[in-house]
Chains A and B, each alone.
Chain A
Amino acid sequence: MFETLMLSRMQFAANISFHILFPTITIALSWFLFYFKLRFVQTGEPVWMRAYRFWVKIFAITFAIGVVTGITMSFQFGTNWPKFMETVGNIAGPLLGYEVLTAFFLEAGFLGIMLFGMNRVSARVHTLATLIVAIGTTLSAFWILALNSWMQTPQGHEMRDGVAFPVDWLAIIFNPSFPYRLSHMVVASGLTAAFLIAGISAYRLLKGDDKQAPKLTLKIALTVAMVLAPLQIFIGDMHGLNTLEHQPQKIAAMEGVWHTEKGAPLLLFAIPDEQNKTNHFELAIPKMASFILTHDLEGEIKGLNEFEGNHPPVAPLFFAFRIMVGVGMLMLIISWLSRIQLWRNKPLPTWLLRVLVAMSFSGWLATLAGWYVTEIGRQPWLVTGILTVKDAATDIAPGNVALSLSLYLILYVVLMTAYLHTIFTMANRAVEIEEITDDEKVKPVVHSMPIKESNYV
């Protein structure tokens, strides 16, 4: 039925897709938490602490899934892609090594203090621990994106007997696509976390929560989304231009350009036909693709015909790219619409709150679609020009890979169900339970029965 290569690809895609969802949230959520904590220290307003305490639990659970699904990755390179490390291990190894040494330990080492140490260390040390965790998550993105970008646009190495050796580490790390990919991913994480916070806060408001904390977090999240959404479009455009320079075949597939043409139209929709090398049902804006990519209405865009046998499959790229851009545009519209409404001091209408709830995980969709564009867009190469995916694969019996893949898929379905269920359970619990505890610096508040929220882990 399936061969080991195909099964290994499916397994890697499943593992990395599931894993990336969680760091995408925690990279930026950690900075939100640092901000909440910092504001609490500055103002002494208990609402900041309540926001912190609610979101730190969601952070903990998201982080835990990120850590344990990440362990899988460190085994998988060797088990399923042995030639990868044998060919480019001299480059990939140290970058992964630095990620573990500088980022993983930093996050995990201070996470305990951040989560459970508030009463055991001074406020300053606790805030510092929160900051260090945030720095750790971001550093982790730095190293892993350096490696991924090097695989897309390798430089700074030399080949000896078919094995890559490092020559210039700075050139390897700061390879041409790295700055764009890193900023694109960090901002994607910011948008993902912002829409998650906005969505869950909106959910609490819809459930009749009239506490201050969800209103505050909704406002902050929308402010961040409002700034990041246009910024992301700008960065995405620069990233696209960079790709056009270094991986033109990827752009040709994304835009569905089968033959080199001047004044290429921007396809809003089409059904690419790989067999006949053409598109059906095109809906296009004339000359726009040329204008966006070359800033010239008559600019030339290289078509897939120039990369015969050396370009990625067209349909997945074409559609994934449109999903990413579509979600991004929706984020832009909704964040501006909601934030302006709040700015005019009007409460958000129910339909808008519902849209925000529906968009809680929209960042995941856009991020995954974006990664599919960049990763499928590198095919047939694993490392551009150095190693193809086919040559890197293992020779393990397909039955074994099929078994492990099935186990992973079942596991992921269970985990995702439990994760989503738990987040909404926590939101519901926060609606029902008064969150004020005695050890907060509260102005005298009249409460008939202050019920403590269960802080128990």
Chain B
Amino acid sequence: MFEADSLAVIFVSLMGFSLLLYAILDGYDLGVGILLPLKQKDDSDTMIASIGPFWDANETWLVLAIGLLLIAFPAAHSHIFKELYLPTAVLLISLVLRGVAFDFRAKAAFSHKPTWNKVFKVGSLLAAMSQGYMLGMYVMGFEDTLAAYAFSLLSAFGVAAAYAYIGACWLIMKTEGALQVQAVNWAKKTGLICFIGVIAVSAVNPLINPDVYAKWFAWPTTLYILPLPVLCFALFVYSQIQLKQLPAVDDKGCWRPFVAAVVIFSLCLFGLAFSFFPYIVPGKLTIWESAAAPESLSFILWGAIVVVPVIISYTIFSYRVFWGKVQELRYN
């Protein structure tokens, strides 16, 4: 049996971990969808093949993250999603559309393929943007003001750019030739937009939330937390320098931009978590106020302790099986 207070912390950490894995993993496959060229048929086939074996499992991390919110913090779940009712509906419909488009584009009549490609691209873009919009509204405390909507819209473009950025980095790692060169260009541009977006969110967040301001700018916490933004900035610079040198001879370092993007994503999420902890609904509800019964959380935690490492190991196994440059996807 675990203590009620520590259970809430354990579960919010687990949820943050799933959310981070979701943002990285589904982030790159949504990004690939956003970047999908509608004209070059071969490129789009290769790009889709690079995410084919993974996207199902990637989306499962969203189900886990939202599931953990629902299971561990039911009051917060209903509060947040009542506020975000319509963007949630848009997100879900976009995810459905892009998910089925992935399968239909290959299996429906050949003449319909360009249509499903479009659906895949638009669905990916809308899914990313609605997530960004939801993030923006969350940071703004679900305010019903013009400023909040404007900021959320900005955040929508920011998250779409971030996903496109990690998607481009994924493609640099998984592809060769002209497509790889194209991916490097995409990564440079989207990386820059993403960088501006991160700065915008980091600036607005403490300015509108006094609690967040107090947290970041309280001596000596500032000193401990300072490496976070510095490291994030350094990684953006590092990534741009690396991108200038790619593609390199023997494909040396093709994985570096992707790893840099993964670390940037992790730092940003950690920064957000640090800003709001222990609130799960900013300014309204803490994790302890909204946590479910300890006997229920203990029951599920024992399972999670056993199962999550297993999930991670077979996820790694699956990535190893499809390691290296992408090949034509075949059902054999």
Partner of A57, one of B67, B68, B300, B331: B331
Q: Which residue of chain B is the closest to A61 with respect to CB atoms? A: B103
Q: Using Cβ atoms and an 8 Å threshold, which residues of chain A touch B329?
A: 116, 456-457
Q: Is B303 an interface residue (CB 8 A)?
A: yes
Contact residues in B for A113 (Cβ distance below 8 Å): 53, 318, 321
Do A93 and B60 have beta carbons less than 8 Å apart? no
Query: Can you pick out 5 interface pairs between chain A and chain B where the beta carbons lie within 8 Å of each other?
Result: A71-B95, A74-B63, A98-B300, A116-B331, A456-B106
Q: How many angstroms between the C-alpha atoms of A266 and B280 in the bound complex?
A: 56
Give the secondary structure class of A's interface.
helix
B295 within 8 A of A: yes
**Looking at the complex, which one of A93, A98, A111, A418 makes contact with B100 (CB distance below 8 Å)?**
A418
Q: Return B284 CB to nearest CB of chain A, in Å.
A: 15
Interface: B39 (CB within 8 A): no
Pick out which of these stretches binds chain A: B202-210, B212-220, B225-233, B307-315: B307-315
With A61-B104, A78-B70, A108-B60 as known contacts, state yes or no: A400 contacts B85, CB within 8 Å.
yes
Residues of B within 8 A of A333 (CB): none
Are A117 and B99 in contact, with the CB atoms below 8 A? no
Known: A60-B103, A90-B296. A421 touches B331 (CB 8 A): no
How far, in angstroms, from A87 to B183 measured CA to CA in the complex? 50
For the complex formed, measure the closest distance between the CB of B294 and the CB atoms of chain A, giving whole angstroms: 9
Question: Is B102 interfacial (CB-CB < 8 Å)?
Answer: yes
Q: Report whether B96 and A422 are in contact in the complex, using a CB–CB cutoff of 8 Å.
A: no
Q: How far is the CA of A85 from the CA of B103 in the complex (A)?
A: 34
Contacting residues of chain A (31-46) with chain B, CB-CB under 8 angstroms: none
Using A69-B96, A77-B77, A119-B330 as known contacts, list a sample of 10 further A-B pairs with CB atoms less than 8 Å apart, ordered by residue number in A: A67-B60, A74-B66, A79-B81, A97-B304, A102-B307, A110-B318, A111-B53, A165-B295, A425-B107, A455-B331
CB–CB B86/A457 < 8 A: no
Check: A227 CB closer than 8 A to any chain B CB.
no
Q: Are A120 and B322 in contact (CB under 8 A)?
A: yes
Q: A85-B74, A407-B89, A437-B332 are in contact. Are A116 and B53 (CB under 8 A)?
A: yes
9-residue interface stretch from B44-52, B158-166, B174-182, B256-264 = B44-52
By a CB distance below 8 angstroms, the chain A residues around B72 are 93
Q: Known: A97-B300, A400-B86, A407-B93. Contact between A439 and B311, CB under 8 A?
A: no
Which residue in B70, B78, B321 is a CB contact (below 8 Å) of A121?
B321
Q: Is the CB of A93 within 8 A of B99?
A: no
* Contact in complex: B107, A119 (CB < 8 Å): no
Asked if B272 is at the interface of the complex by the 8 Å CB criterion, the answer is no
Pair A455/B330 contact, Cβ less than 8 Å = yes
CB-based contact A79/B88 at 8 Å: yes
Q: Is the CB of A415 within 8 A of B100?
A: yes
B10 at the interface (CB under 8 A from A): no
- Chain B residues closer than 8 Å to A112, beta-carbon distance: 52-54, 56-57, 318, 321-322
Interface residues of B in 210-255 (CB under 8 A from A): none
A82 at the interface (CB under 8 A from B): yes
Partner of B104, one of A67, A96, A108, A422: A422
Asked if B59 CB lies within 8 Å of chain A CBs, one says yes
State whether the Cβ of A9 lies closer than 8 Å to any Cβ in chain B.
no
Give complex CA distance A160, B78 in Å: 21
Q: Does B71 contact A (CB under 8 A)?
A: yes
Q: Which residue of chain A has the shortest Cβ distance to B77 in the bound complex?
A: A78
Let me know if B75 is at the binding interface, CB within 8 A.
yes
Alpha-carbon distance between A163 and B321 when the two chains are bound, in angstroms: 47
The smallest C-beta distance from B323 to any residue of chain A, in angstroms, reads: 9
Q: Does A75 contact B (CB under 8 A)?
A: yes
Q: Say whether B107 contacts A61, CB under 8 Å.
A: yes
Q: Are A70 and B63 in contact (CB under 8 A)?
A: yes
Q: Which residue of the partner chain A has the closest CB to B61?
A: A105
| Given contacts A67-B56, A90-B293, A408-B93, A118 and B332 within 8 Å (CB-CB) | yes
Task: List chain B residues, Cβ under 8 A from A65.
Answer: 96, 99-100, 103
A72 on the interface (CB 8 Å rule)?
Answer: yes
Asked if A446 CB lies within 8 Å of chain B CBs, one says: no
Known: A113-B321, A396-B85. A97 touches B314 (CB 8 A): no
Of the candidates B54, B59, B64, B295, the one whose C-beta lies within 8 Å of that of A101 is B64
Residues of B with C-beta under 8 A to A455: 330-332
Mask for B82-96, Cβ within 8 A of A = 1, else 0? Answer: 100110110011011
Asked if A109 and B67 sit within 8 Å, CB to CB, the answer is no
* Closest A residue, CB atoms, query B331: A455
Which residues of A sit under 8 angstroms from B69, Cβ to Cβ?
A: 78
Cα distance A74–B74 in the bound complex, in angstroms: 12
A101 / chain B contacts, CB cutoff of 8 Å? 64, 300, 303-304, 307-308, 311
The answer to whether A56 has its CB under 8 Å from any CB of chain B is yes
User: Could you tell me if A78 and B74 are in contact, using CB atoms closer than 8 angstroms?
Assistant: yes
User: In the complex, which residues 178-197 of chain A have their Cβ closer than 8 Å to any Cβ of chain B?
Assistant: none
Does residue A230 face the partner (Cβ distance < 8 Å to B)?
A: no
Chain B residues closer than 8 Å to A163, beta-carbon distance: 293
Q: How large is the interface on A (under 10, 10 to 19, 20 to 34, 35 or more residues)?
A: 35 or more
| Interface status of A394 (Cβ within 8 A of chain B) | yes
Contact B322 A116 (CB under 8 A): yes
Chain A residues whose CB sits within 8 angstroms of the CB of B322 once the complex forms: 112, 116-117, 120
B97 interfacial by beta-carbon distance below 8 Å = yes
A207 CB → nearest B CB, Å? 16
A97, B72: Cα distance in complex, Å: 10
With a cutoff of 8 Å between Cβ atoms, the chain A residues found around residue B103 in the complex are: 60-61, 64-65, 457
In chain A, what residue has the closest Cβ to B296? A90
Q: A90 to B294, alpha carbons, bound, how many Å?
A: 9
Q: Which residues of chain B (84-129) have a CB below 8 Å from chain A?
A: 85-86, 88-89, 92-93, 95-97, 99-100, 102-104, 106-109
Q: Is the CB of B99 within 8 A of A426?
A: no
Q: What's the least CB distance linking A437 to chain B, in Å?
A: 7
Residues of A within 8 A of B52 (CB): 112, 115-116, 457
**Complex-state Cα separation, A407 to B66, whole angstroms:** 22
What mask results when residues 406 to 432 of chain A are scored 1 for a CB within 8 Å of chain B, else 0?
A: 011001000100110110011000000
CA–CA, A457 and B332, complex, Å: 11
In the complex formed, the residue of B with least CB distance to A423 is: B107
Evaluate contact between A96 and B70: CB separation under 8 angstroms: yes
Does A162 belong to the interface (CB within 8 Å)? no
Contact A166 B296 (CB under 8 A): yes
Q: What residues of chain B lie closer than 8 Å to A90, measured between beta carbons?
A: 292-293, 295-296
Contact check, A89 vs B85: say whether CB atoms are below 8 A apart: no
* Nearest CB of chain B from residue A334's CB, rounded to whole Å: 28
Tell me which residues across on chain A come within 8 A of B274, comparing CB atoms: none
List residues of chain A with CB within 8 A of the CB of B77: 77-78, 85
Residue of A nearest to B88 (CB): A75
Q: Give A300 Cβ to nearest chain B Cβ, in Å.
A: 41
Measured between beta carbons, the chain B residues less than 8 angstroms from A111 are: 53, 56-57
CA distance A65 to B99 in the complex (A): 7
Q: Considering the chains assembled together, what is the distance between the CA atoms of A110 and B318 in angstroms?
A: 7
In this assembly, does B62 line the interface, its C-beta being within 8 Å of a C-beta of chain A?
A: yes
CB contacts (< 8 Å) of A422 on chain B: these are 104, 107-108
The smallest C-beta distance from A339 to any residue of chain B, in angstroms, reads 30
Asked if B45 and A75 make an inter-chain contact with CB atoms under 8 angstroms apart, the answer reads no
Bound-complex Cα distance A64 to B100 (A): 6
Q: Which residue of A lies closest to B307 (CB)?
A: A101
For B88, the chain A residues whose CB sits under 8 A away are 75, 79
Choice from A71, A116, A403 contacting B63 with Cβ under 8 Å: A71
